[in-house]
Structure 1
Amino acid sequence: MKFTGCSWEAVPQVLVVDFLRWVFTCRVFPHVPRVRLGLPQRQLAQVWTALQYIAAEDAYLWREENRQREAAKQQARWKEKAARRRADIDRKNAASHRAALERAAAPRRTRVGRTSGPPGPSGTANSCVGRAWSRRWRT
């Protein structure tokens, strides 16, 4: 087996004599693959491979781990930025809503607080006018 960038692939078969020569001269070693094998039907628990392919798998895993760590950091930054943006929008919406409520309540406050002339029988100057106005609109 040999490691090719991101997965293990099978190599052409060799004679048993050649394979044993490689084993006894320490050119190939047993290795437990940590990356998926490129075999379509089954995964092997252990492969015989050269040190260069084991080192290539380690380098790939190290790069992949760094890439995933950077992607997680970037995603956290994006989420934080979105949360800040959402908080800013919520703050502006609350201020706008508060201002709209104050504008809607302002005419009512000025109407209630107005008095002109001497107080009428019910204690306010406009109590008779208000009753007459409301009777006029009922008919």
Structure 2
Amino acid sequence: MIVVLVLVLLLAPAYAVTEAELDKRLYGSVSVNQTDEYDFSLNETSVQEYVIRVHVLNIQPQKNSPLLIVIKQQQHVLSFEVPAIINEIISHSNVSRTLCPISVTPDKIATLIIGISSFTSEPIPYMVRAEWVRNFD
């Protein structure tokens, strides 16, 4: 039983969870052995609704080794790959997505989670930024 537990712990990929702030560039690298997750607490008391734009840059893009981005909100999940390949011709290594508005109340903190992973054995460096879009109409 203990041997099985030790093997599971040794074979499990490293999983880093980081508390993050909006409007800050975050750098890291991921591989099959390393997954990163950024948790954002949205609790500005003067705001009723957040609109967030997530920017992801794959610093060393390769068509066959994409980053997988998974964005989790309370009632929504969005996933995409970077680089984004269009018609197998055009490759975009810098990709942005605007999320559905996130409602907040004074008594409830909303959370936004951005997970970054890859299935490649070599580390892939990236930059991610969750930007608060003010005056979004």
Which category of TM-score, normalised to the shorter sequence, fits these structures? under 0.3
Q: What TM-score results when the alignment is normalised by the length of structure 2?
A: 0.15
Structure holding more strand per residue: 2
Larger radius of gyration: 1
Structure holding more helix per residue: 1
Q: What TM-score results when the alignment is normalised by the length of structure 1?
A: 0.15
Larger RCO, structure (CA 8 Å, separation 6 or more) = 2
